[in-house]
Amino acid sequence: MNGLLDEVAVLTVPAIESETCSLNNYLAQPDDTMDARIAEARLKLGTDIVLLGHHYQRDEVIRFADYTGDSYKLSKVAAETSAKYMLFCGVHFMAETADVLGQSWQQVILPDLNAGCSMADMAEIGQVQDCWDSLERQGVGGASGLIPLTYMNSAAAIKAFCGERGGLVCTSSNARGAFEWAFARGEKILFLPDQHLGRNTAYAMGISLHEMVVWDPYQINGGVSLDRLKAAKVILWKGHCSVHQRFLPEHVDRVRREEPGMQVIVHPECRWEVCQKADAVGSTERIIEVIERAPVGSSFAVGTEIHLVNRLMKRFAPLGKRVITLDDAGCLCTTMYRISPQHLAWAMENLVEGRVVNHIKVDATVKQWAKVALDRMLEVQV
């Protein structure tokens, strides 16, 4: 064994003997034929199951969720629920987190194992370990001066890496609190894997762009000189969200030109240039809160995943508030979109028959340290 390099999350998919519960049989059926089956399975399972739905899920799926929210809110639910099964309508790192925070007798199910996160995949544990070793050899930050922080959108092994080295996990909701927590304990932050969230958070705290560098895992020494590394307060990993990076400053300029008086609110995973032009920047929960509190007649151009924007558009139109997407082309989270009503029905009907499919189980060693990092996160104020 070589520490966390050899620790991975285990995906358990028990064999299914009954052809009637074969996923292919479900995928061949129309979406609307699943509604009654999902409702019936939900009734049979009762309090044994809790359905968690991320905001970016499609309407046909999230309508069945017991709890909806962003990563932070759903993480808290995972830590507090007493249900035997957690069916997570999200992506892989979210299901891992639920397993880490859940009880030993609870089981987490991801309806489609292909529902991953491109951002999370941009920070691989071997690359992160190499980065850390390189920084230590060069004396960057001193023995205890460098604190590793990882965004929730990362693999359990990355969370464990941070927990074992005195760091923690954050979400877009409490990123600033996490940065303040880290700076109270060290001189520098290594932030993984979303450079935009890290840059926007640090800048809002008064840290200049010149005091931040971007570590590229595919270049020697991250593509950064030793002098710049030593001078930096924040070392940003070269990662991003493929959805939020699509929003450009030109989109904000277009709204200003074509929709006078409309407020622009964007997610902090957007580029720094976009966030600087926006009227407000916030997590998905914060975006919803701002629109909720706005007076009748308000209008918003929102820079985040299109399913959430469309849902807000429908929700607030009857209340006299207008919501549009910041980019006319829109963009959905393609990996989140993989989860369909068919996947949901398949997973739930298998549970009714006593079979657990797509069971997400994190390795015990990884789980131990990832929980340390997540527990620290839950203590940080939003």
pLDDT at 332: 63
Question: Which architecture, in CATH terms, is 3-116+336-363?
Answer: 3-Layer(aba) Sandwich (3.40)
Residue owning tokens 């940065």 = 179
Question: Is residue 305 over pLDDT 90?
Answer: no
The residue extents of the domains of the chain are: 3-116+336-363, 120-237, 244-325
Distances (CA, A) of 174 to 23, 147, 335, 373: 38, 16, 24, 14
High-pLDDT (> 90) share of the chain, %: 66
Q: Contacts from 210-213 at CB under 8 Å and sequence distance 24+?
A: 212/236
Single out the residue of 150, 172, 158, 196 nearest to residue 69, CA to CA. Answer: 172
284: its two tokens = 């998905």
| Whole-number Å distance between alpha carbons of 224 and 216 | 8
Please state which of the four CATH numbers 3.90.220.20, 3.90.1150.10, 3.40.50.10540, 3.40.50.10800 is assigned to the domain occupying 120-237: 3.40.50.10800
33: its two tokens = 């034929």
Q: Give the least confident one: 100-114, 136-150, 245-259.
A: 136-150
Residue owning tokens 């004396």 = 139
pTM for the predicted model, two decimal places? 0.86
Residue 263 has φ and ψ, to the nearest 5°, of -85, 140
pLDDT at 59: 83
| Whole-number Å distance between alpha carbons of 117 and 122 | 9
- Collapsing DSSP states into helix, strand and coil, what is residue 113? coil
Give the dihedral sign, CA 208/202/262/254. positive
Indicate the pairing of strand 188-192 with strand 168-170.
unpaired
Question: Is residue 50 over pLDDT 80?
Answer: yes
Task: Give the number of other Cβ atoms within 10 Å of residue 260's Cβ.
Answer: 7
Q: Give the least confident one: 17-26, 272-281, 312-321.
A: 17-26
Q: Give tens-digit pLDDT for 1-18.
A: 334 334 334 444 443 334
In degrees, rounded to 5, the angle at the alpha carbon of residue 75 between the alpha carbons of residues 70 and 76 is: 105
Q: Give tens-digit pLDDT for 229-238.
A: 999 999 999 9
Is-contact 183 201, C-beta < 8 A? no
Alpha-carbon torsion angle 124, 91, 243, 312, nearest 10: -150
pLDDT at 13: 40
CATH 3.40.50.10800 fits 244-325, yes or no: yes
| Whole-number Å distance between alpha carbons of 184 and 113 | 39
| Whole-number Å distance between alpha carbons of 274 and 27 | 39
Domains 3-116+336-363 and 244-325 are alike in CATH topology: yes
20: its two tokens = 């009637």
314: its two tokens = 């429908």
Question: Is residue 272 over pLDDT 50?
Answer: yes
